A and B are shown apart, each in its own frame.
Chain A
């Protein structure tokens, strides 16, 4: 193998996160020029900020990758109803641990980003919906908000601008579906987090209390501050067209150095991430598969070829290691960059066990509103678990596939797809292993994944 230079991180969002002299206190944040962008924001008109965000091309970091500026434009401003801003800090997609770093280590960056966003969309009330397992994270945010309030960066008549916005930290209670934005809104209304159907319930039109609401991910909202700092135009030059800015990738599983790494979009390939940045695989192992964007994204097999045409018309022919790490790369390879959670699996993994592990997650987390999702996810768990208990049958691969196919596209929210895609892609790419199981070859020693 030719030894290349290790690609260098470009830390914008995580600039200070791991600096031992940095703390999550406001004094430290102010020393590093904190809240100066909020001051700058108040010298601008709210619409101008929206324009900058639109120009920046920044896409949502929560999973769907929808351009933030465009989402803000969809806000129903004519209704006269109050507008709400919600930060999605549920961080519940398996394989994802980036928002945690921001919340625990640099909470004021998020608060500044949120206050700028709130001013831009004219929201007088903002919320941070945080997963309940982040016990200390919620306390850190509460403290940071109290500090920000005492310095008038939040609350009434912020910095004399006549703009007021209050910020509430709201804790979830351990349900993955609260990460889905309409489920989150129901939860924030004090109800079960049953997602709402779109249309008509697009949050920008009919969100919290049926009022126009913007839901953005933690990392997305932090970006707003940096867009203001360098300008939308300049920001759009970071990364690649349609894939602007940096992204925090979270690598887990079978690599030497798992962790979170921030790179300009498209600055490196999946292979460079695994072999150069994360120090390669464990000794004596070979790469088997990668799930590139959180457990809901479709799995990629190590020896696949990915071919097709890119948006700009050029042809591509990639091996798994050539897939560019940005929004469009994993999508071109038939999967998605999702939440940025890259799960690496080596040749020690039994794919049926891995599938059973994932299916157990979705079966546990379905909210239960839609029959295909509720029943289908349970059956997929049951079948794969049975397969791993020495009772696999020849028809199981087809059976699993038929269940998954009956979920996809037939549900209220995208959880249905999130539950179906893993099964569909595992069967498409590792059917041989599922069929192997039925031949009674289930005694080979494996990692225990279920």
Chain B
């Protein structure tokens, strides 16, 4: 297991912030998963050692929390909200459209590792459903016809430059001239 110096630095900075080391577990796992995409058994042991814990103390977190992973998602990970308010606005159809266009079923990673889709529980943006997240960006009102156009743009890697879809995050900084997208890598 190799971690970048940047990640190692983040880990070493976050642990002493907490009154007790073990509290840093979720944050450390996030940092590692952000870089490696998932947490293997070897990684579990490494994190446990960092926090003076047993590997099981990390494993039990990875296997409980929905966003922690033992195997990685695709290069682009699409989260579609499944919960009632979004469903009332057509999120089941949105999910189906994305599955068909991107060629992968929800809960799975496409064979070439490019895309994965997750049909998730409420993303706390229910007034603008169906809500779809592409990696860390949130897109709103992705229903019906729009879902098809949206999927096409993802396929062509043109979502970032598209004028038809601005993420919730980017809309926030639209007043400031520079876009946040470049920072999110």
Interface membership of A419, Cβ < 8 A: no
Q: Are B30 and A132 in contact (CB under 8 A)?
A: yes
Q: Counting chain A CB atoms within 10 Å of each CB, which of B65, B90, B136, B175 scores highest?
A: B65
Mark B25-59 against chain A: 1 for CB-CB distance below 8 A, else 0. Answer: 11101100000000000000000000101000100
* Interface size, chain B (Cβ < 8 Å): 51
The answer to whether B76 has its CB under 8 Å from any CB of chain A is no
User: Whole-angstrom distance between the alpha carbons of A370 and B26 in the complex?
Assistant: 24
- Taking CB atoms, residues of chain B closer than 8 Å to A361 are 83-84, 121-122
B87 in the interface, Cβ–Cβ < 8 Å? yes
B68 CB–A CB distance under 8 Å: yes
Choice from A21, A135, A341, A447 contacting B87 with Cβ under 8 Å = A447
A343-B85, A448-B93 known; A96 vs B27 contact (CB < 8 Å): no
- Name the residue of chain A whose CB is nearest to the CB of B125: A97
* A111 on interface, CB distance cutoff 8 Å: no
Asked whether B127 lies within 8 Å of A259 as measured between CB atoms, the reply is: yes
Given known pairs A192-B61, A192-B64, A295-B84, the reply for A134 and B124 (CB within 8 Å) is yes
| B123 pairs with A133, CB closer than 8 A | yes
User: Does residue B104 face the partner (Cβ distance < 8 Å to A)?
Assistant: no
Task: Determine if A132 and B129 form an interchain contact, defined as CB atoms under 8 angstroms apart.
Answer: no
A111 to B185, CA, bound (A): 28
Per the 8 Å Cβ criterion, residues 20-58 of A in contact with B are 20-21, 23-24
Interface residue from A131, A189, A449 paired with B124 (Cβ < 8 Å): A131
Residues of A within 8 Å of B19, CB to CB, are: 82, 125, 209
CB <8 Å contact, B25 and A190: yes
Q: Which of A305-340 contact B (CB under 8 A)?
A: none
> How many A residues are at the interface, by size bracket?
35 or more
Contact of A95 among B24, B82, B84, B92 (CB under 8 A): B84
User: A360 to B126, Cβ gap below 8 A?
Assistant: no
Q: Is the CB of A100 within 8 A of B124?
A: yes
**Cβ contacts under 8 Å, A258 to chain B:** 126-128
Complex: how many Å from CA A210 to CA B169?
Answer: 37
B51's nearest neighbour on chain A, judged by CB, is: A190
Specify which of A125, A193, A357 is in contact with B83 (CB 8 Å cutoff): A357
Interface Cβ pair total, 8 Å cutoff:
161
A residues in contact with B169, CB < 8 Å: 104, 136
B-contact bits for A151-173, CB 8 A (1 contact / 0 none)? 00000000000000010101111
Name, among B82, B88, B169, the residue most crowded by chain A CB atoms within 10 Å (CB to CB): B88
- List B contacts of A109 (CB < 8 A): none
Q: Contact at A447–B20, with CB atoms within 8 Å?
A: no
Q: Does B121 contact A343, Cβ atoms closer than 8 Å?
A: no
CA distance A20 to B174 in the complex (A): 9
Q: Which of A24, A99, A189, A192 contacts B23 (CB 8 A)?
A: A189
Residues in B whose Cβ lies below 8 Å from that of A24: 172
A252 with B88: CB separation less than 8 A: yes
Report the bound CA distance from A357 to B127 in whole Å.
17
Whole-angstrom distance between the alpha carbons of A252 and B128 in the complex? 8
Is B182 an interface residue, CB under 8 A from the partner?
no
- B83 & A295 in contact (Cβ 8 Å cutoff): yes
A173 touches B30 (CB 8 A): yes
Contact call B121/A253, Cβ cutoff below 8 A: no
Contacting residue for B127 out of A209, A252, A354, CB 8 A? A252
Q: Annotate A423-450 by CB proximity to B: 1 below 8 A, 0 otherwise.
A: 0000000000000000000000001111
- Nearest residue, chain A, Cβ from B180: A136
- Which residues of B lie under 8 Å from residue A20 when comparing CB positions? 175
Candidates A92, A175, A190; contact of B122 at CB < 8 Å: A92
Report whether B23 and A173 are in contact in the complex, using a CB–CB cutoff of 8 Å: no
Give the chain B neighbours of A148 by CB distance below 8 A: none
Whether the pair A23, B176 counts as a contact (CB closer than 8 A) is yes
A190-B23, A254-B88 known; A91 vs B124 contact (CB < 8 Å): yes
Give A193 Cβ to nearest chain B Cβ, in Å.
8
Q: Which 4 A-B pairs have the closest CB atoms?
A: A173-B65, A174-B67, A252-B85, A190-B25
CB-defined A-B contacts under 8 Å, sample of 5 = A94-B122, A96-B122, A171-B27, A175-B64, A192-B64
